[in-house]
Structure 1
């Protein structure tokens, strides 16, 4: 009976998922001794590093998992730390044979890379990106988000990531913080206390974006969203060189001044080989209490961008018009994305529809080598 109980406790504990690595701790060799003495279960686990930010959560969930086994009334958990050799073995296993500091999102990757671009600031691009990422994750996709707007980073705040939160380092791997099931990295996570301005030029910007894509361990992703800075400057050029196979969503408002700049951002992306897959019109007309519509920023900008980008190329559709929404703005200020905080809001419905379109459309595999070969070859 004791041996059988020990096996059941070990199985329950091994199924606990590390919240940063998103894998069961049994698969990560984090479970050590498990002993059962009557109704008492003694469980020994090891964490990856000293001061692991997920330590309390893991210990709590291990305790709950062990206590859920029939016959167990008390649980004692001993928490240790991996040795340097064990950490090296773990990082090698996580990389699955990929050398350190190698960009995993190349043309042969099965991860779909989507840049969210606007050309012009102030159109709600980052808000759309953050909510789209959360909506995709809510559909069961594994989603990563890179905040490439180095000078105007806002993604951590939009997702409710607390100031001062930093990636966890396991040797030379950086594990991105996770919010709303979205793995996220931003320059805002690396600034020292009291430092809120990034005054960098081309070489530093290029290096930062490269490190985000090589040194941060996202694991296996279905979709990687990149929140682009406004304009067509250094970062847009760098990402065009690093990820020429990426897809692009162009965000605009209905206003003509915004749409004209958005067209330019789409054309620049296309010159690097990237494919514009659609246009998102934000801050569109919204319904008043009497049922009439108020188009505060005009109308037709999204359709204008889509039509201009469709000339002499594949059709670029207007994927969605997101109405101006107080709930969308409030959710961004509080770090509670509207797609989860108020899913029945009109803007939330529009973004959820956009996520559904992207999730079901998929990316074409034409011209890409896949990681398997035909039998007999």
Structure 2
């Protein structure tokens, strides 16, 4: 059973023996609650020990062991030792690296240069004790959480219950890059996740006057007349109820809710920072995931979205104009911060590039590394060009692309993005889905060749 004492048992791992012993000694003596129960020099030994030893609370490891990385260790231990937290030490501390590692199961990363082991130990102890309280509560409700077993239903239920809130903004100053398509499909993909099926997901359209979300979600204009962002003007943040909030929203695809933008330009002009900020604060009281489809501008409404978002997806196509627009935005934010006008580094650090191939690839397309370099932010994910998007947008299925063809390349990429952002698919996309998708693409290509030959 998961133990209830205050001692925090840690395995230390590093491929460098001298460094391993130094870490062992300093960590052991840095906090009276810390107890180093084993040391390892390779990933497989680390996994075996963590899986079979009882009461292993945490691992502190070099990010790169001889045979495995911290991400691979986290993946291996997810089932065999689900209550063990992975902490690592690394020379690399880029925003992209940290975000990727944490989204794949690493609890925290400490920079090797200037590391203070007392602070590391305190961080690990605080984290483990907080987790332990939650696990003990869960064990009392559902039974003991056993170590070294692949029956992890209780832990998965715990993960589902403790999912952190995500406020995700899709953004670009240029229209036509696929912001709304990515936003709508991302919302549905998250809701389709078994971990989020019981969670509340809302899609917010901040492109006032454009109302692209309503169009993509097949919402009739008549439904948005009384239920749009303007209807929130006099809603009190402190006096709302779930029922009142739901009455202002429109049911969307696959159980998501939609906060529609007004289609009347006169009404849309009234939506400013205060209304937008109030809407997001109210939605944060009642929803686990908020996806915001941003407007192609810098406006007070977008100021509210940029402030409230936990992740900002800079949606780019691989063509110069869209990329340069985003580069100018990041450059402007950096200049404002550097000049001391306003500290916007917290906004910049939330920004990640999503390269969306909305059009067929061409010889003039920028390479992914060129896109990230020009914009000045890390590339998070590439979304491939896929005919299923046009089929969903222009067909009569009334479904989003991820629902219409769940095994398409587009759907797989969106699900991977959903996992990057909020851990919606921790087991990953099934390999057979990828194979089916590639097979389908080949079959479609063969059909086109056949039709080309015979008219």
Picking from 167, 171, 177, the partner of 1:123 is 177
User: Which residue is 1:283 aligned to?
Assistant: 357
Q: For 1:60-71, what aligned pairs fall within 5 Å after superposition? A: none
Number of residue equivalences = 231
Shift, 1:183, TM fit: 1.8
Picking from 181, 184, 190, the partner of 2:258 is 184
Describe the SS at the equivalent of 1:165: helix
Higher helix content, 1 or 2 = 2
Q: For 1:156-175, what aligned pairs fall within 5 Å after superposition? A: 156-165=214-223, 167=227, 173-175=244-246
Describe the SS at the equivalent of 2:265: coil
Shift, 1:325, TM fit: 2.7
Q: State the Cα deviation string for residues 94-151 of structure 1 (Å, max 9, x = none).
A: xxxxxxxxxxxxxxx9422121111211111111111111111111323222111112
TM-score normalised by length of structure 2: 0.45
Structure 1: gaps (5+ residues): 1-108, 287-294, 311-315, 363-377
User: Which residue is 1:357 aligned to?
Assistant: 420
Describe the SS at the equivalent of 2:170: strand
RMSD of the TM alignment (CA)?
3.3
Describe the SS at the equivalent of 2:357: strand
Cα distance between partner residues in 2 of 1:321 and 1:260: 18
Picking from 168, 189, 192, the partner of 1:135 is 189
Structure 2: gaps (5+ residues): 1-162, 338-343, 426-455
Q: For 1:321-340, what aligned pairs fall within 5 Å after superposition? A: 321-333=382-394, 334=396, 335-340=398-403
Say if 1:355 and 1:214 are closer, same or farther in 2 by CA, change over 3 A: closer
Picking from 204, 207, 229, the partner of 1:149 is 207
Say if 1:164 and 1:254 are closer, same or farther in 2 by CA, change over 3 A: same
User: Which residue is 1:259 aligned to?
Assistant: 323
User: Which residue is 1:213 aligned to?
Assistant: 280
Cα distance between partner residues in 1 of 2:190 and 2:210: 24
CA contact (8 A) 2:167 2:291 kept: yes
User: Which residue is 1:235 aligned to?
Assistant: 301
Higher strand content, 1 or 2 = 1
Structure ranking higher on relative contact order (CA contacts 8 Å, 6+ apart): 1
Shift, 1:345, TM fit: 2.4
Say if 1:113 and 1:253 are closer, same or farther in 2 by CA, change over 3 A: same
User: Which residue is 1:248 aligned to?
Assistant: 312
User: Which residue is 1:36 aligned to?
Assistant: none
CA contact (8 A) 1:144 1:224 kept: yes
Say if 1:116 and 1:266 are closer, same or farther in 2 by CA, change over 3 A: farther
The answer as to 2:265 corresponding to 1:197 is yes
